[in-house]
Amino acid sequence: MFRGIDNSASGAIKYRHEEFVTLFNLDFCNKITSPQKYVDLEGNIVSKYKFELIDKILEYQDAVTKENDKFVLFLTLLCSFDGGELEIFESSHVKDLEKYWNSDLNKKDKKHYVLKHFVEFHLSEKIRSKNYAFYFMPTVFYRGINDIEMMHLAILCIRPKNTLKEAGVFPVTQGVESVVNQAPLTPNEECNGLVAFNPSIPGMQAPALDWMSAFISSNTFKRYWKTDEL
């Protein structure tokens, strides 16, 4: 930084601070599927699901985003699974969720996978609806304070350049199916690295442990993120 050189790339290049990436770190440490009540500016009691907060964030981001702007969304939540929004999703996606319920996992773990599917599906739909290209890193299952079961998601998003549209839309480079069918990661016993779950669920694909290399080699990066400098 003092020298004004970025030596993280192959060959030193002049450091620039012209572009920036917005980072949203949402720590939903209680139930994401339970509505939260608050008093609005008019004094009315309003009940909202936490997913509606993500809608509001995307609404604000959409209002200020220019071509090629980027943002990263981190989401941490309890592996908790009661609430009307999830119940509606389960009743309308019975076929998609059968593979979890019919697996050899115990009932608790089955519910964790249903919640993972629910969260990833909704996030991908919401982000896509705002005309961003997304890339989901593998979801991480882990145990937090007091051994509470948690999950963490990281999504890289970019507003592509209009010149990259085909027939007026941006081609999908990571489909929803590939997102929800990507098996999660979990910390190893030493908690100094990650290992892939092998849940024995038909159709689930093992994620790349070197997730940054996987991103750089992805169609999403090559089509939307890569620049002459990278």
Please, are residues 173 and 133 in contact by the beta-carbon 8 Å criterion? yes
Task: Output the pLDDT for position 223.
Answer: 93
Task: Output the pLDDT for position 33.
Answer: 60
What pTM did the predictor assign?
Answer: 0.83
Task: Output the pLDDT for position 11.
Answer: 61
Q: Average model confidence (pLDDT) for the chain?
A: 84
The span from the CA of 214 to the CA of 87, in Å, is 34
The span from the CA of 138 to the CA of 54, in Å, is 19
> Taking the mean position of all CA atoms in its chain, how far away is CA 44?
32
Task: Output the pLDDT for position 221.
Answer: 94
**Series of mean pLDDT values for 10-residue runs along the chain (230 residues):** 64 68 82 70 79 83 88 90 76 92 90 93 91 93 88 94 88 93 86 74 86 91 76
Contacts of residue 83, defined as CB under 8 A and 6 or more positions apart, other chains included, come to: 31, 32, 33, 34, 35, 49
Q: What angle do CA 34, 135, 88 make, to 5 degrees?
A: 30
